[in-house]
């Protein structure tokens, strides 16, 4: 998790945006905002359903901290982990 957290933080996303790394089951491993609060929690069900349907895409949802967002995701075909970027 520490390595993924450094990678997410290194992206220097705008303050209102959110980036996250999810494991194969859709659990949050690293996050650009409030990692300590959300690490280990599952991503929103709508996002997880989209991840299971296709390896890359986008979905409109609400972040775990309540912000309506458009989220874009890409899943690694080798490891099954997913990188997600969302913006309000």
Please state the rounded mean pLDDT for residues 47-70: 93
What pTM, to 2 d.p., does this model score? 0.89
The Cα 78–Cα 69 span in angstroms is 28
Mean pLDDT in residue range 38-45: 94
Overall average pLDDT of the 22-47 stretch: 93
SS3 62: strand
Tokens of 2: 């520490």
CA torsion through residues 52, 78, 18, 58, sign? negative
Give the distance from CA 72 to its chain's centroid. Answer: 9
């Amino acid at each position: 998790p520490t390595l993924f957290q450094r990678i997410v933080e290194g992206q220097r996303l705008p303050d209102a945006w959110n980036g996250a790394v999810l494991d194969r089951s859709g659990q949050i491993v690293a996050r650009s905002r409030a990692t300590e609060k959300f690490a280990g929690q599952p991503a929103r069900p709508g996002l997880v359903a989209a991840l299971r349907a296709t390896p890359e895409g986008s979905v409109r949802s609400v972040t775990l901290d309540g912000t309506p967002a458009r989220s874009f995701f890409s899943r690694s075909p080798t490891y099954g982990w997913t990188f997600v970027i969302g913006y309000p």
